[in-house]
Structure 1
Amino acid sequence: MIVGIDLGTTHSLIGTYSEHGPRLFPNALGDVLTPSVVSVDGDTILVGQAARDRLVSHPQHTVAAFKRWMGTNRETFLGKRAFRPEELSALVLRSLVADAEAALGERVTDAVISVPAYFSDAQRKATRAAGELAGLRVERLVNEPTAAALAYGLQQRDRESRFLVFDLGGGTFDVSILEMFEGVVEVHASAGDNYLGGEDFLGVLLQAFFDDQGVKVSALEAMELARVSRALELAKRTLSGASEASVDVQLGGKPVQWTIDEARFLRLCEPLVQRMRAPLERAMRDAKLSPSQLDEILLVGGASRMPMVAKMVSRMFGRLPLRHIDPDQAIALGATVAAGLKARDARLEEVILTDVCPYTLGTEVARQSEDGTYQAGFFQPIIERNSTVPVSREDQFFPIQDHQKVLALPVFQGENPMVANNVRLGEIQVKLDPRRPKHENGVTVRFTYDVDGLLQVEVTEHATGKRHELVLEQNPGLLSAAEIRERLAKLEGLKIHPREHQENLAVLARAERLYEEYLGARATLAQWIAAFRAALDSQDTARIDHDRKAFSAGLDEIEANA
């Protein structure tokens, strides 16, 4: 069974393509959205809503938004163990797969996983590694904007069309321009910002709140900061449909009431809105299109619900965007369609999905100044960004000195004219014949980039025809095959609560969060928590189910009256 997965910064979803079309699977709590949060409770790993509630009650043992760290070697300590971003993502994937297997009644082994279009080579490989650590064979990584297009069914149009996908999620922002023609979905241009999303708009609210209170964030305990963050997240959502939002929290042991209106929120977020304009303009320039040449504009990603986002897009392109599919679900629904295409589902017409290289790839060169001296450190592009993959390009290079012994050809990824500001991927060195002058010691360098994000560098010496090759399968900060095997074994040894216990864990975590947030309800909550733990100890399934429903209803009432 092959599934489609949206591995998101804030939430993740899983589904498959069925006889009734795309189908998303609910988790143990009945929700198709599973928070991308991991927490450690003693020797046990919690994933999803239970972990999310522990961001307030146990922030030192809980982590979220780790998708932003994919492709780096950053480690997070939870309990006694350090986790890499790939491992944290793998734990979320395992939870999703358990939900899918419970719904399907069969084992899930293969997956199509969506990634931001602007994810780098390293981030894509890290996503594949996460899938492998979760026990999945990742059949394909599909760009999130392409998945959104599939969800909207634009591939079924009987005429050629061009459209722009605006994808603002919890942690990343992507814009892609795609064209549909004769069963082909071709990406013309992609741009984005891997560090811009709903979390940043929350950060703006946090800063405004603490500025108004005259409090420095660094002075707060983790638990207090988590409690305020959650309250402001709810305020941010309120502002999507109301002119103002109020927050009541405890700060330093004292009650604080704070109100913010939509106008001030807009002013505070203006720098973030301007950051969204730059990728939009870059994508349009790269695609060589004007707004009038676009047939549709799609708005997806949970953070795109903010009115300021739709207004900015409407002003830029002079029309209202499409957003009739739930923006939280659009990418996951498209990933299930991509999974169906990969499985050659007979209910789907064959569609060819093309991709582009999101970053420019090249090498370092020295340039001669007017006084005849050479200055090193300049970036020489070989494959320009937004080239349709697979792609192969070549260029010629010569040493800067006669009788040079070695020609070093480092490989870089990025858009800056200086290599110091780009990402170094590796290097290939060619031994030269020192008896030859520089014009006889030239080489032809060919870069080949394929659909799996693998870059092959081939160097051919002009004088001898000798060839040298470098295949960049691993980037700095990525796990090697041996490290993946080692960490897979360690993950297998982790104690993860079975899916059927998730509802009980979630209601306890929620109660503990409310205990932290609402001082007036503490006595009642402590009594309820003790009573429910006693029910769990009884191992009486009927009693546990009955008490959990009553417990949840009581928690609903506390939140409603707070």
Structure 2
Amino acid sequence: MIVGIDLGTTNSLIGLWHEDGAALVPNPLGHLLTPSVVSLDRTGEVIVGAAARERLASHPDLTAAAFKRYMGTSRRIPLGTRSFLAEELSSFVIRALCADAAALLGHMVEEAVITVPAYFSDAQRRATRRAGELAGLRVERVLNEPTAAALAYGLADRDAGRDGPVLVFDLGGGTFDVSVLEMEDGIVEVRATAGDNFLGGEDFDDAVVAWFVDAAGITAPDPFSPQPDGQRLAARLRRAAEAARRTLSAGREARMTVTLPSGAMAGASLREDVFAGLCEPLLERLRRPIARALADSRIRPETLSQVVLAGGATRMPVVRREVARLFGRLPLQSIDPDEVVARGAAVQAGLKMRSAALADVVLTDVAPYTLGIEVSEPTPTGRATGRMLSVIERNSVVPVSRTRDVSPARDFQKQVGVRIFQGEARLVSDNILLGEFDLALSPRRAGEQPIEVRFTYDVNGILEVAAVAQATGASERIVIRHGPDAPTMEEAEERLQALAGIKTAPREAAANRLLLARAERMFEEVLGMEREMLGAAIGMFEAALSAQDPAGIEEAADHLRHALSHAKSGSEQ
């Protein structure tokens, strides 16, 4: 069984393909969405999901969220005395999802298709693949999120007469992608893709937080401050901002209240029109990738058959109105935007398993970035170095193989260095180095030393680069699977062993973990009698959990729920 995983910035999902269609797997709480949040409890056990999200406010120094934005970087995210790469934290989320699938299937999951933002770089895609491998999976395919959404819609609407060019507008928690695809008779062909890897619902929340700090007249906290009070206030502000943004999806005004470290309350009301003004700079950033994707695909907006929404942030009315304004039509939203990518990933898993129900479905994809080599160019005064020579241009259909002919810069060179880059800039210093190697030459004049450089790029983002000295037949090649910052085999094995030694909270304890996390968060927000009652109830519940008596746990849980409800009603007065 191959599963499909939507590894999101805010939430993640896992899906399966059956002969009757794609199905999403619920977590132990019965929810399809598992928050992409990881926390360590006091014993060092890993908590993933809703309980971890509750701990963002009560234990910010032990909890991490939105780490997908750091995929493919060397940034380490501290959790207490330990620190993790984004791919390592992501592996915990993937493990939790696979445990849910295993509980449903009755056996372990070993293979997966994992989705990524279409505009993820080579390094980010490799990091996503490593996250799956660290979770114990064989990653069969790394699939672009908008392509997955188009697969879900293409399969659902094959009989609805909606063939033709489709634009997928995918705004998630942390990333924005736009892809233009052609859909016809079960064939899904990606024509162009563009995006912004640092634009999503999190940025809309940031705008609301900045407004609230000014409107309420409070000092903005530093979320990276070593002081727990500052971290907790930052987490409360983000939680209140997200709640306000969701409220404005159904109403015209949202009231925000936040408990300050002093115990005082700060509040302000956010109107729909004010929120729209806060969003305008972000909406402008959405427009640029749309224009680029349409230009690259050579498709005019009026010829699109559909505009498809994906990603939870597209629920915001201000975003949907902007999409309708840009394209002069209402976007298609018949599949839940939170679920559509995971459903498409499950379809791709079915394609990998060669399901008979998908025999007539064909998928093509494109290279999201230009790939090339460093060259020098002649100028009136000499040669200009550090220039980018494109070999495979962005939005080329993959798999693809292209060649370029070059020559040494000087006569009688004994070798040339081939440096491989990814990016759209003219100067290689503004692009990303993927790898390099040297090619030996027989000393001759430069014009007598033609060199053929071939790039081959496949659907899994694996790049092979080969260079051949035509005069002698000497050749060198490199297969870029891991990149310059990737760990060696030995380092990867060490990391795998280290992560395997970290205990994960039992899946069946999820409901109790969530209740305890909510109670601990509320304990920090209330004062006086409510705090005393809640503290006593938390202590009783923890004692029952330690005793492992099911009847005692249920009785203590009921008591804690009652205390939590009383404290919540008291804090709202």
Q: What's the TM-score bracket when you normalise by the shorter of the two chains?
A: over 0.9
Equivalence map 1:424-439=2 (5 Å): 424-434=433-443, 436-439=444-447
2:170 paired residue number = 167
Q: How far does residue 19 in structure 1 lie from its aligned partner after superposition? A: 4.8
Distance 1:95 1:549 in 2: 27
Q: Does 1:13 align with 2:23?
A: no
Partners in 2 of 1:330 and 1:554 — Cα distance?
Answer: 38
- Gap runs ≥5 in structure 2: none
Cα deviation 1:410-438 (Å, max 9, x = unaligned): 1110011111111011112223333x221
Q: Which residue is 1:121 aligned to? A: 122
| Contact 1:155/1:185, CA 8 A, preserved across alignment | no
- RMSD of aligned residue pairs (Cα, Å): 1.9
Query: How far is 1:349 from its partner?
Result: 3.7
Contact 2:38 2:46 in 1 (8 A): yes
Q: Hey, what does 2:475 align to over in structure 1?
A: 467
- Tell me what 1:389 maps to: 398
Moved more, 472-481 or 233-242: 472-481
> Structure 2: which amino acid aligns with 1:184?
I
Q: Conserved in 1, the CA contact under 8 Å of 2:6 and 2:115?
A: yes
Letter of the 1:130 partner, please give it: A
**Are the equivalent residues in 2 in contact too, given 1:362–1:383 (CA < 8 A)?**
yes
Answering whether residue 420 of structure 2 is matched by residue 375 of structure 1, we say no
CA distance in 2: counterparts of 1:343 and 1:232, whole angstroms: 42
User: What is the identity, as a one-letter code, of the residue corresponding to 1:181?
Assistant: E
The aligned residue for residue 27 of structure 2 is 27
Measure the CA separation in 2 of the matches of 1:355 and 1:145. Answer: 10
Summarize deviations over 1:450-484 as a string: whole Å, max 9, x none: 11211111111122122221221221322333222
- Which residue of structure 1 aligns with residue 333 of structure 2? 323
Confirm or deny: 8 A CA contact 1:73 1:478 kept in the other structure: no
Whole-Å Cα distance in 2 between the matches of residues 17 and 411 of structure 1? Answer: 38
Cα distance in structure 2, aligned partners of 1:557 and 1:278: 49
User: SS state of the match for residue 356, structure 2?
Assistant: coil
**Which residue of structure 1 aligns with residue 52 of structure 2?**
51
Corresponding position: 1:178 with 2:181: yes
Correspondence for 1:505? 513
- The residue type paired with residue 475 of structure 2 is R
Q: 2:543 is matched with which residue?
A: 534
2:62 pairs with 1:61: yes
Once the two structures are superposed, the pairs formed by residues 416-455 of structure 1 within 5 Å of their partners are 416-434=425-443, 436-455=444-463
C-alpha separation in 2, matches of 1:61 and 1:155: 42
Name the SS for the 1:381 alignment partner.
Answer: strand
Equivalent position of 2:274 in the other structure: 264
Aligned to 1:273: 283
Structure 2 counterpart of 1:71? 72
Letter in 2 for 1:21: G
Corresponding residue number in structure 2 for 1:311: 321
Matches of 1:555 and 1:189, distance apart in 2: 51
Offset, 1:558: 4.3
Do 2:71 and 2:128's aligned partners in 1 also have CA atoms closer than 8 Å?
A: yes
Find the aligned partners of 1:327 and 1:386 in 2 and give their Cα distance.
25
The reply to whether residue 206 of structure 1 matches residue 216 of structure 2 is no
What is the deviation of 1:390? 0.8
In structure 1, what is the Cα distance between the partners aligned to 2:13 and 2:554?
A: 26
Q: Which of the residues 337, 360, 371 maps onto 1:361? A: 371
Instruction: Return the letter of the residue paired with 2:121.
Output: S
1:447 aligned partner, one-letter code: F
Q: Deviations over 1:381-416 (max 9, x none)?
A: 110000011111111112222223332221110011
Secondary structure at the aligned position of 2:126 is classed as helix
Q: Distance in 2 between matches of 1:30 and 1:240?
A: 24
Q: Which amino acid aligns with 1:506?
A: L
Select between 512-521 and 4-13 the one with higher mean Cα deviation: 512-521
What SS class does the counterpart of residue 367 from structure 1 fall into?
A: strand
Deviates more, 1:188-197 or 1:118-127: 118-127
Cα distance in 2, alignment partners of residues 557 and 526 from structure 1: 13
Give distance in 2, aligned partners of 1:111 and 1:419.
35
SS of residue paired to 2:394? coil
The C-alpha deviation readout for 1:250-299, integer Å capped at 9, x for no partner, is 22412211122111111122111111111101000010000121111101
More moved, 436-445 vs 218-227: 218-227
User: How many residues of Structure 1 are paired with residues of Structure 2 in the alignment?
Assistant: 560
8 Å contact kept, 2:221–2:233: no
Please list every run of 5 or more consecutive structure 1 residues that lacks an aligned counterpart in the other structure.
none
Shift in alpha-carbon separation, 1:351–1:482, aligned structure 2, 3 A: farther
The farther-off stretch of 457-466 and 155-164 is 155-164
Cα deviation digits, residues 483-521 of structure 1 (max 9, x gap): 222111111111211111111111101100111223353
> Structure 2 matches for 1:223-372, cutoff 5 A?
223-253=232-262, 254-369=264-379, 371-372=380-381
Alignment partner, residue 557 of structure 2: 548
After superposition, residues 214-225 of structure 1 pair within 5 angstroms as 214-218=218-222, 221-225=230-234
DSSP 3-state at the match of 1:496? coil
Q: For residue 217 of structure 1, what is the amino acid of its counterpart?
A: P
In structure 2, give the amino acid aligned to 1:461. A
Alpha-carbon deviation of 1:245?
Answer: 1.1
Check 1:560–1:391 CA distance in 2 against 1; reply closer, same or farther (3 A cut). farther
Partner of residue 419, structure 2: 410
- 1:79 deviates by 2.7
Equivalent residues of 1:155, 1:351 under 8 A apart: no
Post-superposition CA distance 1:45-96 (Å, at most 9, x none): 1111111111100101110111111111221221332211111111011111
* Range with greater deviation from structure 2 (136-145 or 538-547): 538-547
CA deviation string 1:368-388 (max 9, x = no partner): 22x332111211111000001
The one-letter code matched in structure 2 to 1:406 is: Q
Query: Deviation at 1:546?
Result: 4.4
Pairing 1:142-153 to 2, within 5 Å after superposition: 142-153=143-154
Question: Do the aligned partners of 1:440 and 1:462 also contact (CA within 8 Å) in 2?
Answer: no
Q: Distance in 2 between matches of 1:115 and 1:517?
A: 37
**Secondary structure class of the residue paired with 2:358:** coil
1:287-339 Cα distance to aligned partner (Å, 9 max, x none): 00001211111011001111111111111111100112211111111111221
Report the AA paired with residue 103 of structure 1: L
Deviation at 1:549, TM superposition (A): 4.6
Comparing 175-184 with 267-276, greater Cα deviation is found at: 175-184
The aligned amino acid for 2:48 is V
- Is contact 1:210–1:217 with CA below 8 Å preserved after alignment? no
TM-score by length of 1: 0.95
Measured in 1, the distance between the counterparts of 2:565 and 2:15 equals 29
Q: Does 1:492 align with 2:497?
A: no
CA 1:347/1:154 → structure 2, altered by over 3 Å: closer, same or farther?
Answer: closer
1:136-166 superposed Cα distances (whole Å, 9 cap, x missing partner): 1112222111211222244752664220110
